[in-house]
Structure 1
Amino acid sequence: MNQSTRFEAGRFHAGRFSGNIAETDQAPFSVSISGLTINPTHGTTAEIGVHLVASAHSFPNGAPATIAWQWRNDEGDIPGATEATFVPSAQADLDNIYPVAFPSDGYPSWAGAAHTVRYAPPTLGASLDDVNLMADSGDIEIAIDGGFAGDNLSYSLASELSGLQINANTGLVTIATNGDAQSGSATVSATNSGGTATQDFALAISDEPFIVKINGLQNGTAVVGSSLAAEVVWFVPQGEIDRIRWRSNGKVIPGEWDPSYTVDPTMAGTVLSCTVTSVNNGANTSEAYPVS
C-alpha cells in the first residue's frame, strides 16, 4: 500500500473498516470526542440531544493551521454535519456515528471511534397505584404511562394472570374482570434504545363492592393503647360512606364512629372489627382481630 492509498483509507472509520491506515502503522494523530454519555446498560454512547465535540491532537509535526470536519454514519456523510460540534437527533437513533478530521499542512484525514446513538434511558415516575376491581365489571382500562419518564418509549407487561394486555405505544393496560379473572401482580416495562425501567402493581378483583381493612395492627393483633385505622378498599368507583362502627366481639362499641380508634384497655381479651356502611353499596365488616 503506498502513502496516498493509506491516506485515502483514512477517510473511512478505523473501528469499522480496519483502520485509517494499515493496522500495523501508527496513527498520524488522535481524534477524540467529548460529551459522550456512559449508559448503564450499553456503556459509552452518543446520547440524543447531547452536544458532542470532536477534537484532533497529538500531531507529530505541530498542529495544522486548519482542520475541517465531517461526521459520518454507516451510510456515509451526515448532511450538514461539517463542524467539530454535532448534536445527534432522534432520527439518528441506533446509528453508529463518528467524526473525520481533515487537517491542512499535509496531514492525512483521520477518523475517531464510532459510537452508537441512543436515547437517554427511561426513568421511573410516579409509583403505580394498586388496582382494585369488581368481578364481572367488563374490561377496565388503566393508564400507567405516568409511572415512567423518557422519550420514544414502548411498553410491555409481564404477569402470570390471565386477561391483562398492554398497548405498546400508549401504556394503556386493559384488564378483563369477567370469567376466570384473578388477583395478583403484574410488571410493566418501559423501553427505548437507552434501556428499560420497570414497575410493579398489584391487582385485586372482588365479588364485593368494597372491603374494610384495619391498619395499625402488630403481627395481626390489636395492641392495647395502639391507634388503629379503618381503610375502605373500593372495587367499584369510590362511593360515599354513611357510617363507621367499631365492634368488640361483634357488638358495637358506643361512641366509636370515627375511622380511627385507640384500643381501650377494657378491650383486652376480645376481638375487634369495624363495620363500614356505604350510601349506595351496602355494608361490609373487616376481619376480627384479637386484642392483647
Structure 2
Amino acid sequence: MVTAFQNTQVLLLAAVLLAACLAKLTVRERAADAPDRVHGVPVPAGLGRLTALRRVRGMNAGLGVGEGVLGLALLVTSHMSVRLATTVAFAAATWVVGELRVRRPDAGCGCFGGLSHRRVDRRSVLRAVLFTGAAAASIGAPLAGLQALRDVQARMGLVLLVELALFAALSPELSELLERYRRRNGRGRGRTVMPCERRRSPLAETYASLYDSAAWAAHENVVSSAVPLDVWREGCWRFIAFGARVDERDMEVVFAVSTAERDRTVLAAFVQPERADAPEEERAARSAERLSALL
C-alpha cells in the first residue's frame, strides 16, 4: 500500500509540473492583471521583488520549461536526483507563495501562468504545502511515472483520482480557465465589469469590509477612537486613518480597503501622527508615507 501511494505521487507531480509548464508557455497574463499594480494602484518597487520573474516573459517561459523538464524526468526515470530536485522545487514554491500571501495578497502566484492572476489565499498556500509533502513522499517510490502508469492498480488509481479532485478543489485556475473559454466562445457577454478605479463604492460597503477583515481584528484593540481621523480614496483603494495608542505612544493606524467588486482586500499599517500645524509640503509627504507604508 505504501509503495502504491509513493508511485501515485510521482504521477501526480508529473501531471502538475507538465500542466504548469503548458500554462506558462501558452497562457498570457491579461494586461489588467499586471503584477506591478494592485487594484490599479502602483506598487512600490521594494514590494515587487517576489513577482519580478512574472514581469519578464523570457524568465517566466524559462521557469515553465524547467518545470516541464522535471515533469518528463519523473515519467522516465526514478533517479534520486530527479526526486530531490522536485522536492526542492516545490519547497521553494511553497516559500514564495507564503511570502506572497503575507506581502502581496493581491498579486497572483503565477503558478500556472496567466491563469493564476487571482490573489494568493489560504487555498494556494495549502496546495503548495500538499505538493511539497507529495514530493517528499515520492522520493522513495521504486517506479518511474510511465512504469507506474503501465502497472496501475485499482487502489492506486483511486488514490490518484482523490488527489486530483483535491487539487482541483484548491485551484482557482480552473474557474479562470472556464471563464476564458466562455469569453472565447461568445458566452458570458452582456455583463460589463466596471474597473475598480471607476466603480462606485459606498462608504458603508467600505466599513463593512473593514470591520469583517482580519486586519481590523488584529488592530482593533489599539484603536483609540471609533471616529476616523481621515477618509480618502486613491484609485482602487479607500483609506481610513484612526488614532491609535501603541506602547504608550500616539500613532495612526491606516487601513486600505479595496473598492473592487469582489475579493476585496484590507491592509493596515502604523504611521506617525500628523501635526495639525504642519506645512503643506509636510502634509503631502505624510500622505505619501501613508501610501508607501500600506502598499
> Fold-level match, TM-score > 0.5?
no
Structure with more helix by fraction? 2
Structure with more strand by fraction? 1
TM-score (norm 2): 0.24
Task: Report which structure shows greater RCO (CA 8 Å, sep ≥6).
Answer: 2
TM-score (norm 1): 0.24
